[in-house]
Structure 1
Amino acid sequence: MRVRWNSNWCSRLRELLFHGKSQDVLLYYRELNKTRVELMDHSVFPILFKACLNLSATHGHGNSIHASLVKQGFLAFTSVGNSMMDFYAKSGDLGSALVVFNCMDNKDSVSWNVIIHGHLLLLASPRGLCLFTQAWAAGFEPNISTFVLVIQACRNLAAFEAGRTIHASTIRAGYSSITSIHNSLLSFYAQFEMHLAHNLFDEMTERDVISWSVMIATYAQSEDESVLALEFFQRMIDFGEPPDGQSVVSVLKACTKLKAIRLGESIHGFVISRGMGYDLFVHNSLIDLYSKCNDIDSSLRVFGGIPEKNVVSWNSLLSGLVQNQMHPEALTLFDSMHKAGIESDEVTLVNLLQLCKFFLDPYQCKLIHSRILRQGFELNELVTNSLIDAYASCNLITYAWSQFNNMITRDAVTWSTMIAGFTHCGMPDEAIAVFREMSHTSERPNAVTMLNLLEACSLSADVKRSRWAHGIAIRGGLESNVVVGTAILDMYSKCGSIGSSRKVFDRIPYKNVVTWSAIIAAYGMIGLPNEALALFHEMKVCGLRPNQVTALSLLSACSHGGLVEEGVSLFEELIWDHEVELVIEHYSCLVDLLARAGKVDSAMNLIGKLGVGVKPGASAWGALLSACRNYENYEFGAIALPQVVELEASSSAGYLLASNMYASGCSWVDATKMRMLAKEGGVKVIAGYSLVYVNGKACRFLAGENHHRLSDELQFAIQQLHSSMKMDINFCGVASCNLVIGTSLFYSLSAN
């Protein structure tokens, strides 16, 4: 016998649900079913579905209630169908929600809202937009939250035209003054056309903190328009809108990009005055700002003031220490991070790999690799790219190559890193082979890839390859890029093709100081110092100030070209005009200039006049020792020798120079002693070598080598070349000769 439904039971269920006793709701309903109560009120089902949603294991209960209401014929009630759809959608079962929706005969606005919201909230944006279009055609009137979700869907799908149509629909629906809809439209337009977002912002009669934050955040992301983020932040304050943590984080990001540390300090003061010190995101942004503006002390103070630090806090300071080349301090910080129980993430591991690169520590690199495997980051592209880079920097190129081959997906950064790794390890052929393999994939080379390829071609010193790489840059539209163009002219100069370097230089539309420095260095390296000086004066006419590299290139050109007066005059000009902050390398180059010209006394006096704490480098003492050998000045040679040996203990150059100096003065005992010291110290004497390209492959000849696997004809041609060459080669310098033999390009590099 069935008992008829009592309205008091429904009230009891509502009361239990109101007090959060969802489990009791379902138990009470189950007990009523056992007493064979005949349900007469369909309003009980929305209560039951809400109770199911509040429980963790909901799907089984929901399916059971769904079956019960179907058997009792309550599916025809729209409110019941809407509750059922809401249950399935919020449980993540969009398929069942859609089945219920399609079975409903009487759909209302709630029905459409529930099914559209369900799809959009679960990121099923394409289907959600399609349902919204169907609803609109059926006369559905969306509410504010539906419009907000649909606009977000258009942004996620990059559906610009659909978004503009929705914008027009909001105006027709009378929602043109609703701030939440405008904020969604601001975010939408900011992704596509920032000027449209700006126009909409100016048209808004009411703005809240979200409106301002959207504009500030969007402008802060742009390298070229970060200053506008600062302007909007100032306007926000002037309008009396108190900024929140998000807007402060965005404006600090803009300050970081602009390196505007003074403004960042002002915002820091504003944060303190407004009592926003509780916001961890703001603190982390301040650490990042000070670190990237090279104020690591301020970063440390901010870090020390954070009561509850997270992994981002530690990583921000760790990155700052690495960027500011405070590598021992970075290791200490990581040790503290480990002791604090903070688990390292991918950013931490990347910074640790950067430390391995600096210390050139293969063992630590392998340890970090094992940590990467333990933490499951072996598929993280950022980590793996950094690992390849670290292995290559530590000269573990086989490990780097193994990691590269094990990667399932490779992006442009991966390919560029591997090319750079082979180049760093002196393997240009392998680097170029990797680039050729990349060209057969869908990944297109970017400017960084191109720079690494050009560096590999520079190392190989093959004009044919260099022209091939130049052609790739042209086809990729990268030749006009000032950085790539500068690398191309530098590549040609290292191949001895100064004419090609000058042509590339003339084609670069916007030249910077690096471009001018490169072409000046090219002319100086090829032995045309007067042309290098003329370019320097032309550069100054163009309104560009020289940097340290420019000055070093000019002094080097004067030194190798024998322009003593011009070099000394240039050095004095740089000092008096304060155009360049001179460093020890500039003084070393001037010492080299004087020593090469035989002015050993002047070179020695210059070394003696250097300021306290400024010590000449190995190149300066080496140049002086070479001059002492050439001009038989044994007194100064005896002073220079221990300095060279101390500064370059593992190099054979100092020992050989000293041995030759003593030998030229017939001091055979001392000459032999120098040779014995080098041998006892385990110093390897590196012989000079020559390169011959045969069928695109480099073959190396060591000095004194009489046999090689090359053909007899090529060996005969080389012998003929050597018999016809009459060159006075300085033993501490480098003599080069470029000659085309048939289809092969011969480079003679002789050093002793």
Structure 2
Amino acid sequence: MSSQTQLRLILYEFSRKFQTKLSTQKLHSFVTKSRLARDPFFATQLVRLYAQNDDLASARKLFDVFPDRSVFLWNSVIRAYAKAHQFSTAFSLFSQMLSSDRRPDNFTYACLARGFSESFDTDGLRCIHGIAMVSGHGFDQICGSAIVKAYSKAGHISEASKLFLSIPDPDVALWNVMISGYECCGIWDKGINMFNLMQHRGNLPNCYTMVALATCLIDPSLLHIAWSVHGFCLKINLDTHSYVGCALVNMYSRCRCIASARSVYNSISGPDLVACSSLITGYSRCGNHKEALYLFNELRVSGKKPDCVLVAIVLGSCAELSDSVYGKEVHGYAIRLGLEFDIKVHSALIDMYSKCGVLDSAINLFEGIPEKNIVSFNSVILGLGLNGFASTVFEKFTEMLEMGLKPDEATFAALLCTCCHSGLLYKGQEIFERMKFEFGIEPKTEHYVYLVKLMGMAGKLEEAFEFVMSLRKPIDSGILGALLSCCEVHENTQLAEVVAEKILENGEERGRSVYKVMLSNVYARYGRWDEVERLRDGISESFGGKLPGISWF
């Protein structure tokens, strides 16, 4: 074989995106025996291939013995350690590079910025940012983009914004990073403003811009803006792009507009797994669980393989429908895919079996987890509580604490739910106090709802009312609604009127209508039909002349 043919063969092998560890070792041996042994290009490629196969020892050995280290070789080995999450070693290599005759380039700083972002090391990120600025790479598009993204992920959006505004003539990619940064921090209005400024400065949005913008919209109250974003996609002919289509499906799903989500999904030419997963998630999120299961079945038949997140969501739909038959089918499917021991899937299985009343299966799954964590404990505590096994719940809680696990908001929500189902008022109050003072967890709406229901269902309506009125204003309608439902059960019309009045002072019209129905039921029990008619007429008008849940046929 001639040397030219050998060179072509080697270049072909190195051009492939992936090589096995054995193939990499053979290539290394072949290069070492040839005249190419001291070429930095081939050394860089070998370090990359070793890193792909998680063989950092071989990559480092090659790097250490190589005499003429190029910037690319330095970057390759630094990137290898950063991708392996060995950030201290990556930074140590960077320090050695600063002491060598090679200067870091924009890719070096970009790689380290990503590493510090992933390790949540803000001080390290600021250090790299400072060195990049001194070296003159701080305003580079690639380096700047990586640091802006890193600051955004770390939640330091003001620092990301300052850097972005200091970069002259940012390209579309950098604009996209800044818009995504506002999305990461939940500041959707700033993302919209950035999008408008981008166009004002003559930059044409691309598909990634629209994805970043659509991802910012996560609340049903932003539906009118979601329509505008979709309209803009139609205007610039990006609506049929699969990447944009998936983002629009996800956007409409989060905005609880599932009809629009389905319409966009149907318009995508050959929707992929991501688009299908987005729509299934949307159906589940909006409570259309049967449609979610139907679409998941179609996905399985098509041969697409879902990930653990989607399987967990589908199991959640099975739980909401109390469909243990289909739940068992999904369980078997998860086993075949090798997803059964993923913590999200495992917890969803425990939750599904618990809510379907198949408690033995839920307990067996929990006991079979080799390394139990807070998520698995939360699932089994909630499952036992929903089925009335309060004493076992508190045993599990004690076991969890003895293992050194720290309870979170979901743990206490499950414990308070257990107390509600078993009517354990004083135990519930004790749990609530421990949550606040022993574990330092600030109660959320869900915790207050359970505590109010505990007091109200025990007949302590006045005490519950005083507790609710002591909360910080404005009081969530869900908490007031819990008290109103207790007034309905105990037929306390006088207090029900007061609570209903408080509810009507805030909340959306459809939310208020639910509570109007509850109050009208209290009036109906006492034969106050004029009041019932007045309330129900108001509800009928708000729903276009038809009362929800009533059919004329």
> Structure 2 vs 1, CA of residues 508 and 234 (structure 1 numbering), >3 Å: closer, same or farther?
farther
> Structure 2 vs 1, CA of residues 229 and 337 (structure 1 numbering), >3 Å: closer, same or farther?
same
Is 1:623 matched with 2:497? no
User: 1:592 Cα shift?
Assistant: 2.2
Equivalent positions of 1:122-271 (< 5 A) are 137-138=1-2, 149=11, 152-153=14-15, 155-156=16-17, 158=19, 163-195=24-56, 196-222=58-84, 224-225=85-86, 228-237=89-98, 241-271=102-132
User: 1:372 Cα shift?
Assistant: 3.7
AA partner of residue 548 (structure 1): E
Is 1:482 matched with 2:346? no
Separation in 2, partners of 1:554, 1:685? 36
User: 1:251 Cα shift?
Assistant: 0.7
Residue of structure 2 in register with 1:444 after alignment:
305
Separation in 2, partners of 1:502, 1:238? 59
User: 1:332 Cα shift?
Assistant: 1.6
AA partner of residue 483 (structure 2): L
User: Is the CA contact (8 Å cut-off) linking 1:183 and 1:210 kept in structure 2?
Assistant: yes
Normalising to structure 2: TM-score of the pair?
Answer: 0.88
User: 1:238 Cα shift?
Assistant: 5.7
After alignment, is 404-413 or 342-351 more displaced? 404-413
SS in structure 2 of the partner of residue 344 of structure 1: coil
> Structure 2 vs 1, CA of residues 579 and 425 (structure 1 numbering), >3 Å: closer, same or farther?
closer
Is 1:650 matched with 2:514? no
Is 1:524 matched with 2:382? no
Computed over aligned residues only, the root mean square deviation of the Cα atoms, in angstroms, reads 3.2
> Structure 2 vs 1, CA of residues 608 and 235 (structure 1 numbering), >3 Å: closer, same or farther?
farther
Is 1:641 matched with 2:495? no
Residue of structure 1 in register with 2:167 after alignment:
306
Separation in 1, partners of 2:350, 2:378? 11
Greater share of residues in helix: 2
> Structure 2 vs 1, CA of residues 197 and 558 (structure 1 numbering), >3 Å: closer, same or farther?
same
User: 1:405 Cα shift?
Assistant: 4.8
AA partner of residue 138 (structure 1): S
After alignment, is 327-336 or 526-535 more displaced? 526-535
User: 1:227 Cα shift?
Assistant: 5.3
Q: State how many pairs are aligned.
A: 549
User: Is the CA contact (8 Å cut-off) linking 2:455 and 2:463 kept in structure 1?
Assistant: yes
User: Is the CA contact (8 Å cut-off) linking 1:493 and 1:501 kept in structure 2?
Assistant: yes
Q: Deviations over 1:20-58 (max 9, x none)?
A: xxxxxxxxxxxxxxxxxxxxxxxxxxxxxxxxxxxxxxx
> Structure 2 vs 1, CA of residues 251 and 362 (structure 1 numbering), >3 Å: closer, same or farther?
same
Separation in 2, partners of 1:630, 1:170? 82
User: Is the CA contact (8 Å cut-off) linking 2:20 and 2:53 kept in structure 1?
Assistant: no
SS in structure 1 of the partner of residue 404 of structure 2: coil
Is 1:497 matched with 2:349? no
AA partner of residue 454 (structure 2): L
Q: Report which structure shows greater RCO (CA 8 Å, sep ≥6).
A: 2
Gap regions ≥5 residues in structure 1: 1-136, 689-701, 706-752
User: 1:642 Cα shift?
Assistant: 1.0
Separation in 2, partners of 1:455, 1:567? 26
Gap regions ≥5 residues in structure 2: none
User: Is the CA contact (8 Å cut-off) linking 1:227 and 1:254 kept in structure 2?
Assistant: no
> Structure 2 vs 1, CA of residues 473 and 147 (structure 1 numbering), >3 Å: closer, same or farther?
closer
User: 1:596 Cα shift?
Assistant: 1.6
Residue of structure 2 in register with 1:419 after alignment:
280
AA partner of residue 352 (structure 1): L
Separation in 1, partners of 2:523, 2:441? 39
SS in structure 2 of the partner of residue 496 of structure 1: coil
SS in structure 1 of the partner of residue 219 of structure 2: helix
Residue of structure 2 in register with 1:509 after alignment:
370
> Structure 2 vs 1, CA of residues 385 and 656 (structure 1 numbering), >3 Å: closer, same or farther?
closer
> Structure 2 vs 1, CA of residues 523 and 193 (structure 1 numbering), >3 Å: closer, same or farther?
closer
User: Is the CA contact (8 Å cut-off) linking 2:468 and 2:480 kept in structure 1?
Assistant: no
Residue of structure 2 in register with 1:109 after alignment:
none
Separation in 2, partners of 1:305, 1:533? 56
AA partner of residue 499 (structure 2): A
Is 1:387 matched with 2:251? no
Separation in 1, partners of 2:239, 2:535? 51
